[in-house]
Structure 1
Amino acid sequence: MDDDSAKYRDWFAEEARSERPDLALLCLLLATAGDPALDDAGIDAAQIELDRLAGLLPYGPKTPREWAGALADLLGRECGFHGTSGEYRRLGASLLHQVLERRRGLPILLSVVWVEVARRAGAPAYGVALPGHFVVGFGDPGAPGGPVLADPFAGGGPLTGNEAELLVMDATGAPLEPSMLTPASPLDVVLRILGNIRAWAAARPEQSAAALWAVEFSLLLPSHPARLRYEHAQLLVQRGDFLTGAAELEAYAEVVQPVEPATAEAVRGRARAARAMLN
């Protein structure tokens, strides 16, 4: 790992553990691993662009529905931010600075743009992690009738209750639950973005380096699924770092031993197999 990569990872870890993590900054710091050309100046430029867009919103207090409409008019209609099916094949669709440049991205990254522009303008906006499709909420999620929902992937158009229900039904086969409308924290959003990158890389064996850095950034978050340690170890072995991978497999086995002894023993077997590849 070069000095710049280490600097951005340390910065990411520090920001993730701060009292109020900056979502845009976290997204830009992880993007430095996906685009080595992204440097301090590029990070500043992306933040400035978010500030500029926020400055274009009409001034003055608004209802949640009016805020949603103002964001859709500016970002969706005037600026042309939206998604296409092809974005799911692009790593850049998960990198915030490229989404700002191309005005295309995955639902969650477009939602980050909406939320960050709205936050800078004082709007009550937040990410809503519906299963299978990330959207933006405006207003109090506990208010009668729930929040006003908008779908940035579709240009920011408002989502009716029935449309949100259909999105959830298509993804899970289950109905929309009120708990699904809870605002997503910045760290939850970042973990989901990194999960998308891991899934993208998993479908492309030649992209194991992307899978590795996505897991490593996930492990820098103060809270993450324990199984990511196993995934990290497997990737190290896959990429030929047998000793480090074996050591991490053994460490993961110690974690799961108290609750899943059979799984722990199987993982230790994989660690022995990894070490044997050096012979």
Structure 2
Amino acid sequence: PADYRRLESSLLHEVLRRRRGLPILLSVVWMEVARRAGAPVYGVALPGHFVVGFGQAGEAGPPVLADPFDGGRVLTGDDAGLLVAGATGAPLDPSMLAPADPLDVVLRVLNNIRAWAAARPEHSAVALWAVDLSLLLPSHPARLRYERAQLLVQRGDFLAGAAELEGYAEVVGAVDEPAAERMRGQARAARALLN
């Protein structure tokens, strides 16, 4: 759908204004409204599609899942399995129905913004903003530092990009020295762009 191709679909204030958005943001809205009404809810981060679980996680019996993106349709186990199979080609594993950690939800939203911006190089400032926010989270993929370095160089901030590459090389060097040396080479190349 068209909502997948719009940045506004990943920005909560725009989702509230437009009443349209990606499944994860619609689920966040649903969860907050349900919590304020006293309903026990949690996010379920299925691969490729985020839905809302109702009840206490881990209760006996299958969880009750709803898809805010599909008008709040209640999902059967088969429906959830089809969503997972469509995204991964693999069957639904019961562990995929576990409540999503709130910080993982934030990181997933930021990943959606990064993916949107990656397809639009003219919006590298948006990509850098999303990477910078992701790096503020207590747990984030180390590779984001490399992505940040690339964005800085792409935007013409060669010194900051080189410094970020060297910092990433220090992290990588502990497990993969050849990769760290490649990062150091990229840092030298970024500095050379100043001339």
TM-score by length of 2: 0.98
- Which of these residues, 90, 104, 108, is aligned with residue 188 of structure 1? 104
Q: Which residue of 2 aligns with 1:139?
A: 55
* Rounded Cα–Cα distance in structure 1 between residues aligned with 2:129 and 2:56: 36
Q: Which residue of 1 aligns with 2:177?
A: 261
User: What amino acid is the match of 2:83?
Assistant: L
Q: Which residue of 1 aligns with 2:82?
A: 166
Higher-RCO chain (CA-CA 8 Å, sequence separation at least 6): 1
Identical-pair percentage: 77
Cα RMSD (Å) of the superposition? 0.8
Shift of 1:258: 1.3
After superposition, residues 29-108 of structure 1 pair within 5 angstroms as 85-108=1-24
Q: Which residue of 2 aligns with 1:116?
A: 32
* Rounded Cα–Cα distance in structure 1 between residues aligned with 2:61 and 2:153: 51
TM-score by length of 1: 0.69
Q: Which residue of 2 aligns with 1:210?
A: 126
* Rounded Cα–Cα distance in structure 1 between residues aligned with 2:80 and 2:136: 33
Unaligned runs of 5+ in 1: 1-84
* Rounded Cα–Cα distance in structure 1 between residues aligned with 2:57 and 2:79: 17
Q: Which residue of 1 aligns with 2:138?
A: 222
Q: Is 1:175 the counterpart of 2:91 in the alignment? A: yes
Shift of 1:180: 0.6
Q: Give secondary structure in 1 for the equivalent of 2:51.
A: strand
* Rounded Cα–Cα distance in structure 2 between residues aligned with 1:198 and 1:153: 21
* Rounded Cα–Cα distance in structure 1 between residues aligned with 2:38 and 2:106: 22
Shift of 1:139: 1.1
Q: Give secondary structure in 2 for the equivalent of 1:140.
A: coil
* Rounded Cα–Cα distance in structure 1 between residues aligned with 2:178 and 2:82: 40
Q: Which residue of 2 aligns with 1:251?
A: 167
Q: Report the number of matched residues.
A: 195
- Which of these residues, 232, 235, 239, is aligned with residue 151 of structure 2? 235
Shift of 1:97: 1.1
* Rounded Cα–Cα distance in structure 2 between residues aligned with 1:102 and 1:248: 37
